[in-house]
Amino acid sequence: MKIIFTKDVPAVGKKDEVKNVSDGYARNFLFPKGLARSATENAIKNLTHALAEKQKTSTLRNDHAQTVAERLKTITLHFKTKIGEKGKSFGSISSAKIQQELKKKGITVRKEDILLEEPIKTAGEKTVLLRLHPELTTEVKILIDKEE
């Protein structure tokens, strides 16, 4: 029986994949759990159309992400914070603060896409990774100065 997977099924098939499986497996396991649907001509045509639209949208997003990445290469984010005697700051620069500073410069990024392992607590120049697209990460420079 020809089916279209609606969800990933480990070791069997991935979402939106068209595959032949045994009738019993499809009727007794995949269909009742909502993991697949029957692959009629109309369903395959709709799937092909949906995948083409998804590809077009992904390409547009990737192009936009490339443009933003080029812009980020020229930007340095400046932060001022109180620094102690040992070079440690009293506050820290978190993903939220980086997001706010980027927003001021006209760049919208989700907090989850700022790949910061832990908040920055030391002065100086740092580099932070940003995920702009599932296939594209870029760096942004951050300069932390002592507040007078």
Give the closest residue to 142 by CA, choosing from 98, 96, 111: 98
* The dihedral sign for the CA sequence 83, 86, 92, 93: positive
Residue recorded with tokens 């939106």: 16
Level-2 CATH architecture, domain 68-146? Roll (3.10)
Q: What is the pLDDT of residue 37?
A: 95
Task: Determine the average pLDDT of the residues in 102-116.
Answer: 90
Q: What's the rounded Cα separation, in Å, for the pair 6 and 16?
A: 6
Question: Alpha-carbon distance 105 to 94, whole Å?
Answer: 17
**Confidence at residue 35, expressed as pLDDT on a 0 to 100 scale:** 95
* CATH superfamily entry for domain 2-64: Ribosomal protein L9, N-terminal domain (3.40.5.10)
Q: What is the pLDDT of residue 63?
A: 87
The pLDDT of residue 129 is 92
The CA-CA-CA angle for residues 108, 110, 114, to 5°, reads 105
The whole-angstrom distance between residue 77's C-alpha and the CA centroid of its chain comes to 22
pLDDT at residue 7 above 90? yes
Reported as a single tens digit per residue, the pLDDT across 10-56 is: 999 999 999 999 999 999 999 999 999 999 999 999 999 999 998 89
DSSP string, 63-76: HHHHHHHHHHTT-E
Q: How confident is the model at residue 147 (pLDDT cuts 50, 70, 90)?
A: confident
Query: What's the pLDDT at 121?
Result: 85
**Confidence at residue 3, expressed as pLDDT on a 0 to 100 scale:** 96
Indicate the average pLDDT of the chain: 90
How is the chain split into domains, by residue range? Answer: 2-64, 68-146
